[in-house]
Structure 1
C-alpha cells in the first residue's frame, strides 16, 4: 500500500549568491545553510506530507549526515526498513551543493557517494515492499541497474511505475515498457528526445507528443511557473497553468511535485485532479527555503486549492 520511493539521499550544503561566478573568479556569497535532501529523499518527504504511507529504499553512509537522515525519516513517518548503510570506511552519504540566486533559481553539483553503491541486491531485498505498493517512484541519482530492477518488480506486480528522469542520462531501452508515467522537466525531455533521434528543438508540445507516441508512455512535463503539460500516448494534450508566487528557493520544487503527485495517485485520485494538487504543492514549496524540508502539508495545499495564492505584486 502507499508509495515506495527507490532513490537517493544528498545532504545539501547550500549557498546563496548574487550570480553565477565566472571561471576562475572568487565570488562572495550572501548566505549558507545545510539541510537533508536528494531527489529520492525529497520526494519521499513530499509524499508523506501529502498523506500517503511512504517507504524509502536507498543507501546512506555511516556518518553524521546519514544519522541525520534517519532521524528526519523517523520524524516524518517515512518507513526506512530498506535504507541500508555502506560498510564503514567506504562511501559516505551523498552530498549536494546547490547555489541559489536572488530570483530563486538554482544550479546544483552532486557527489553521489553511497548512492552509487545501490544495486540489484538492495532492490531484491525490498521486492516485497515494491510489490505491495500502489505506486513506485524513482529518479536517476542511483545506478541504472537498480532503477531497472525496481521497475521490473513493480511492473510485474501491477504497481504503478513513475519515473522522474533527473538528472538526465541514457537508459536501457527495455525500461520504457515498464514505466506507466514519465515526469521530466522541459530540459530533460529535450535531452531524451535528442538521445532517441526525435530532435530537441521546437515546441515542447510537439516533442512531448513525439516522445509519448514513440515509447507508448504517458508523459507529464513540468514547466516551472508555466505549469504542466500532460500528453497521452495517443497524442491528447492537457495544459495545467502554473501559479504565480514569490519564489524564495526553487531547490526541490520538482521533487515536491513528484512526491505529492504519487501520494495522490496512491490514494486513488484521478490523474488530472492529482496533477492540480501536485502543481499547487510545488508552487507552495518555492515560497519556502530548503529542499527536502520545504514540502507543504496536505492541509496547506488543500487551503491553497480552495482559497488561492496571495496576490504577487508586479515589478
Structure 2
C-alpha cells in the first residue's frame, strides 16, 4: 500500500452512531381528546339515565296523587301554559292516634302563565266566612263535614269534599276555582326532611306538648334551619302549656307564607333539584288532587322557574272573638282583587293598569 493513500476523514465524537432518517418520526397518539370524549359521553348517558328514572318516578307519583284524574286529557285552551288557573290548597291535620280530618291550612292560589307569577291567599283556620246558605262553623271543619255527608266512601268521598270546597271558596272570592289538592301533615314533614330542612326566622320562643297525639313543639327564637317536625310545629303553633307566649291565627298564616316561600327557594337551588326524586316520592304518597296528570306536567313545565319575589302572599286578617275569627272586609276585598288580577289573561300588572285607567 502506498504511503500516499489518503486516510478516511476523522469522525466527530458520537457521529459513529448517527443514522440517516429516511421517514419523519411518528407522532405520539394524543390520548386526552379520547378521554375527554369518553367522560362527556358518560356524563350524557348518566344524565339521560337519571332523567329517565326521574320521569318514571314522577309518572308514578302523579298516578298516586291524581286520584281519578290520571288519564284525563286537557283541552289546548285549558292548558296551564295558556290559561291562568286557580286551586284550593288544603293541609289536613290528620293524625292516626286521634283521627279527624280538619284542614288547618286553607289557601287559595292563582297562577298566571303570561307573567309567570302567582298569588296565594291564606285563610285563618277559625274563620267564620258568614256566607248565606252555608252552615256557620270554622272553615277548617268544612272538608270533614262534606266528607261525612257523601254517600260514597274512600276516593269518591274525598272527591266530593274537594268539589264542595272549590265551590264554596270560589263563591266567597268571586272566582272560578278549577282544582283542589289535599296534603296531609306527614307529607309536609317528609318533604321538608327530603329537602334537608327549611331556613326560617322563628319569631318567638314556642313550647307546647300534647301527649295524646305526640306533639312536642320546642323552638327558640331566631334564624335557623328547621327539620320537618319542627317546621310543622312552627306553622301550627298557637298556644302554649309550657310558659311561652301564645300565637294568633294571623301569625300562623304569616309563618305558613314564610315557609312556603323558603320551600320555593330550596327547590330552585341545585341541592333542591338533586333531592327532587325523594320529594316527588313522598308528595305522591301524601298528596291527593283532582288536577289531571297531564295538567300537573303542564304546571311543572310552566312554573318550574318561578321566583319567590313573584309570588304574592296575602294572609287574611280579622278579629278573634271566641270561637271564631271575623275577617276584616278590607282584607277580603284586597284578596279578591289580587286573585282577579292574577286570573286576568294579561296578568296582574295589566289588570292594575286597566283599573287605574278607568
Scaled to the shorter chain, the TM-score interval is under 0.3
The TM-score, its normalising length taken from structure 2, stands at 0.24
Higher helix content, 1 or 2: 2
The TM-score, its normalising length taken from structure 1, stands at 0.27
